[in-house]
Amino acid sequence: MEDSMKLGRWVSTQRTAYHKQGNKGTLSEERTQRLEELGFVWDSQNTEWDENCDRLVEYKEEHGSCMVPQRFKMEDGMKLGAWVNIQRSAYSKGTLSKECKQRLKGLGFVWDSQNAEWDENCGRLVKYKDRQLFGAVEVRNEGRHEAWPLGHHTAKDVLQGHLE
């Protein structure tokens, strides 16, 4: 454990020296080359982001969109839903890099999930209405037998027992 902590500090020092190279050149070209031959990762945050974005690609291939539920976890426990929300937050704050925005945009990433979900459900309602024989739209409530005209009653009415 202690050895891995020391190695982690050493790796961090090499990254710092490499990034300063443009100014003071504290990491020699020879050392840079030796580390690169080992597959050394100079920017671990970008690498992690790329790996998470690859996971989003996997999700999209399986589910057809980038609309990841907030609590969704990959099989290995990676919290993809939380990661997606962090990207949306960074985008809205203006802190998401141009490269990250472009990559997510290329995947069909949805920046405003609430509006997208509303639009999707409204579209489903239009399709449902088109299948009905009469002009009134009645949607069955899950777990109940009766159908309610859409917008005719409120959830409050139902909960208070005003509807039977």
Global pTM exceeds 0.75: no
pLDDT category, 102, cuts 50, 70, 90? Answer: very high
| Long-range contacts at 144-150 (CB < 8 A, ≥ 24 apart) | 150/125
Mean pLDDT of 55-83: 94
CA geometry: angle 110, 111, 114, nearest 5 deg: 85
Q: How confident is the model at residue 113, as a pLDDT?
A: 83
Q: Residues 9-47: pLDDT tens digits?
A: 787 778 777 776 555 557 888 888 898 888 877 776 677
- pLDDT reading at 111 higher than 60: yes
Confidence class for position 78, pLDDT limits 50, 70, 90: very high
pLDDT tens digits, one per residue of 80-99: 999 999 999 999 999 988 88
For 56, other C-beta atoms within 10 Å of its C-beta total: 19
Which pLDDT score is estimated for 154? Answer: 44
